[in-house]
Amino acid sequence: MSAPEAKGGVAVLASGEGTNLQALIDAAARDGLSRIELVVSDRGEAQALVRARTAGIPAIHLSPANWSTRAAYDQALADLLAERGIALVVLAGFMRILDADVVRRFAGRMLNIHPSLLPRHRGLRTHRRALEAGDRLHGSTVHFVVPELDAGPAILQYRIAIQPWDTLTGLAERVRHGEHFIYPLAVRWWLQGRLSCTDGQAHLDGKPLVAPLVATRDMAPIPG
């Protein structure tokens, strides 16, 4: 049995262009559930801030230059989210590694999307690494955030076959297309009370996800 729907809204943290943010904004307009109440960026020039303001969402540039240490900045960010009554924190291209204490403060309430089939290719330059490794499959993974980088319980993956003609740019674009489907879906599950994280294990509809669910090219989620 699912838990009650979550009370409180969603905050999206983004550092760049914000295409996943836009997918979340579009999904929120369609389903009326994914309540995006705040967008925060560490970069004042981030296109994500423009996207948020265009959609009428409060958008804040929280500059790291205003704090003397990374930990102090992260604490200020966490305090801001708490003050706004944020229920779920969604990382959408937020290019900072958050302090472990902050991650623990939002345990089970923070999601990230990573452009690889985790646990493969944690960290940066994932598309290049997949091509150089000769991987047969590539994609992206929605997961709960834990203090260890890109190591949280996986929820949902989008998988595509790498083709001989794939370029770095083309592969990145194909992966991004899938991200725009799976991320809003996972956010909706969480807000509906269907998705949770307990004792380091993701659960959907009360059942542990031994492996992440998988969405393929036809965009239909199937058991992984």
Q: For residues 37 and 59, what is the distance between their CA atoms, to the nearest angstrom?
A: 9
The secondary structure element, H or E, covering residue 170 is helix 168-191
Respond yes or no: is residue 114 known to be catalytic.
yes
In 113-167, which residue ranges form alpha helices assigned H by DSSP? 126-132
Q: For residues 18 and 87, what is the distance between their CA atoms, to the nearest angstrom?
A: 21
Q: Which are the contacts of 151, defined by CB distance < 8 A and separation ≥ 6? A: 118, 119, 122
For 135, other C-beta atoms within 10 Å of its C-beta total: 16
Q: Which of 61, 114, 121, 203 is catalytic?
A: 114
Residue 210 exposure: Cα atoms within 13 Å on the Cβ side: 2
Q: For residues 140 and 22, what is the distance between their CA atoms, to the nearest angstrom?
A: 17
Q: Write out the catalytic residue numbers.
A: 114
